[in-house]
Structures are given as structure tokens and as C-alpha cells.
Amino acid sequence: MPLSAPAEREPLHRRAITMHGYRRADGLFDIEGHLEDTKTYLFGNLDRGTIQPGEALHGMWLRLTVDDDLTILACEAVTDFSPYSICPGAAPNFAALAGVRIGPGFTRAVKERVGGVHGCTHLREMLAQMATVAFQTVYPVRRKREADSPAAAEAARNRMVGSCLAYAPDSPIVTERWGKAEPG
């Protein structure tokens, strides 16, 4: 079902974000993201002069290599387009995310390593979405682990129950997947 009909309007800004998850031949996983911002109008820029309609203002790439426990083993960032010539200098700093695990505390760890003047707002914003893509990519491996291990299944239950409407403790989804909760 689409959104309701909008008021009459003029397009000004477009942000396109594309993300993909891959299983590598070595058993690891690559999560790749690309962000591109464009405007529909001509405007001046301090470092780049005139930016044409449809020309990328921001064009950035990010790749996380993770294991099946969602630990980042490597992070590579590239800035092809930015409003300022200094911006691409933040990209190499994202390698500092190696060793961070995607899970509780991930946002805090990202901020500690590439927050503020050490990073790039646009690349940091992509990381939250890439964390979700990583989870979805690694899901089949983790689901098999749950099937083979009661402890892994319990950890998954504890991680998921209460995380959203579908996984509310009294949800039929929770009951179907893990059975009725024991009165606490």
C-alpha cells in the first residue's frame, strides 16, 4: 500500500542508499553500502565550484567484512564525491572498526572510534543500516546454529523478544517460534 497522495511539491534532494550482503568463498561475509546525494538544481560549492543538477554531492562506499558472530574483521571506506576536498581524509579512519562486534553497544563503539572529527557523518549513518544488513546476511548461518544448539536458540530468543512489535513477548510470532513464555 503506498503512502497517501502528497501535496503539490517540487523535488529538491535525492539520497540513494544501496546495500548488499555477500557470503565469501572463505566463509566470511562482506556487507557493502553505497550512498549518493544529488540535488535537482545548480548550486555553488566552496571547493568544487558549480555543482550541476544530478551531479553527486556525496558519493561514498563502505565495506564491512564480518564473521558469523558479526565481529567486524575489516572495514574499508571510500569517498568519491564530497562537498569539501578534505572529506575523503576521514575514510581511512574507518579501518579502526576492526574488532567491533555488531550487537549491543555497537553505536557507542562506532562513536568512540570514528565519531566527531575522526569520521564522516554520512559514513557513520550508513553503519547502522549496514549492521541490519549484516544480521540479515548472516541469518541463515545463525539460524542453523540455533537449530543445533539449545543455548544458541535461547540467546536468539533473548536477543529478539521485545525488540519490535512482531517480537513482543505475547506475540503469536514468538509463541510459534519459541513457545509460550514461562511465567516469571
Distances (CA, A) of 35 to 44, 121, 182: 21, 12, 45
What are the backbone dihedrals phi and psi of residue 170, each rounded to the nearest 5 degrees, phi first? -100, 15
**Measured between alpha carbons, how far apart are the two ends of the chain, in Å?**
40
What pLDDT score was predicted for residue 182?
Answer: 56
Q: Give, in order, the Cα–Cα distances in Å from 112 to each of 33, 97, 106.
A: 21, 10, 10
134 φψ region: left (φ > 0), alpha (ψ -120 to 50), beta (else)? alpha
pLDDT at 50: 97
Q: What is the pLDDT of residue 181?
A: 59
Tell me the pLDDT tens digit for each residue of 126-153. Answer: 999 999 999 999 998 888 777 777 777 7
Chain position carrying cell 572463505: 26
Residues of the chain with pLDDT under 50: 183-184
Per-residue model confidence (pLDDT) at position 124? 96
Q: What is the pLDDT of residues 85-97, one digit of tens each?
A: 999 999 999 999 9
Predicted confidence at residue 71, as pLDDT, reads 98
pLDDT at 183: 47
Place of cell 543445533: 148
Would you state the pLDDT for residue 149?
77
